[in-house]
Amino acid sequence: MRAEIGLKEVAERAGVSMRTVSNVVRDTGRFSEATRARVLRAVEELGYRPNTAARRLRTGRSGVLLLAVPELSMPYFAELAGHLLREAAAHGCTLLVEATGGRAEAELEIALGRTDPLVDGVILSPLALDDEAARAAGTALPLVLLGERVHEMPCPHVTIDNTEAAREATAHLLSPGRRRVAVIGRQTVPYAATSATRLAGYREALEAAGLRYDETLAPAVAAYGRADGAAAMRTLLDLAEPPDAVFCFADAMAEGALAVLRERGLSTPGDVAVVGFDDVEAARYAAPPLTTVAPDKRELARLAVAALLRRIDGGTDVGPTVLVAGHRLVVRDSG
């Protein structure tokens, strides 16, 4: 029978003190990022889990967190949920995952803690939650918001700089001299923050290149799936002057766009270059492999879980309530 793994064994594997292991696992105290990485690697390799039963008796908390995202069928949210599950486990917590369907009422019920009374706190990626409902939810349960929608409420909001990421992606498409760069992802529904922030970056890049924004090169979409990207790409190719490049606000839409380019007998990037957003696993295996913006999903997960645990422990974040993870443009063969 395998002996129980404790702080001592993790400390020996990581080459640090037991106190440092405890601090990293509980996200308290001071330690370097390199130390944190060594400890969490040792935690994963040894299969260490803190004694959550003892903690519950001591603190009265369940050790259960809840992640709520719009759709788990969307590759980005599925991959991000995997990072959050691992990060929560490293802190000795159980993470439940729910899909809201992007419905405001479902998002509010989850944020208010009405779906599971044992949950200590919630990480919510909202699509439809309005400011008034968000303010009410922000006082009901320890809450961290995830994604582009920045509500005016007293809780941490974890995101990336979507506007800058979109500006970089568009500038990359413009750099070889392309001048009709289209965008797939514009939405007209309320609270379409992904659309608004990424469209702003696209327009900034156009302006910097001395180009005028043309809404015919930005067809509206209802959702961010493959079918939406394919339909928008057909609309763009049917224009009197089709685009020579397309920036898609999600890799799934880019996959749909690539499929339409193939069915029309057009080459990528020769006839039309394509850039996506999310860097999901499928992007590496698209035909051709997709150039895309890669949010740092691991850092997003780390920031979100750490912020939520601080709030559960009664702490408040010092400084800005918006916590920004990194991103990078991954250049492959599509553009």
Residues 100-137: b if buried by 16+ CB within 10 A, e if exposed = bebebebbbbbbbbeeeeebbbbbbbbbbbeeebbeeb
How high is the pLDDT of residue 79?
A: 95
What is each CA distance from 18 to 33, 37, 55, 114, 245, in whole angstroms? 17, 15, 17, 38, 54
Min mean pLDDT across 28-37, 96-105, 109-118, 222-231 is at 109-118
DSSP letter string, 217-233: GS-B-SSSSHHHHHHHH
For the record, the structure tokens of 259 come out as 């499929």
Secondary structure of 265-318 in the HEC alphabet?
CCCCCCCCEEEEECCCHHHHHCCCCCEEEEECHHHHHHHHHHHHHHHHCCCCCC
pLDDT mean across residues, the chain = 87
How high is the pLDDT of residue 140?
A: 67
> Which residues are within 8 A (CB) of 235 and not within 5 positions of it... i.e. 6 or more apart?
219
Q: What is the model's pTM?
A: 0.80
Q: How confident is the model at residue 278 (pLDDT cuts 50, 70, 90)?
A: very high
How high is the pLDDT of residue 57?
A: 44
How high is the pLDDT of residue 320?
A: 54
Please tell me which residue, 318 or 248, carries the higher pLDDT value: 248
Q: Does this chain's domain 59-159+296-326 share its CATH topology with 162-295? A: yes
- Summarised one tens digit per residue, pLDDT across range 186-209 is 999 877 888 999 999 999 999 999
Class of domain 59-159+296-326: alpha beta
DSSP letter string, 245-269: EEEESSHHHHHHHHHHHHHTT--TT
How high is the pLDDT of residue 26?
A: 64
CATH code of the region 162-295? 3.40.50.2300
For the record, the structure tokens of 228 come out as 């939406």
Q: Residue 301 and residue 318: Cα distance in Å, rounded?
A: 19
What amino acid occupies position 292?
A: T
pLDDT at 327 over 80: yes
How high is the pLDDT of residue 318?
A: 47
How high is the pLDDT of residue 117?
A: 67
For the record, the structure tokens of 267 come out as 């080459």
- Summarised one tens digit per residue, pLDDT across range 282-314 is 999 999 999 999 999 999 999 999 999 988 887
How high is the pLDDT of residue 131?
A: 67
For the CA atoms of 197, 201, 204, 205, what is the dihedral angle to 10 degrees? -160
The full set of domain ranges for the chain reads 7-48, 59-159+296-326, 162-295
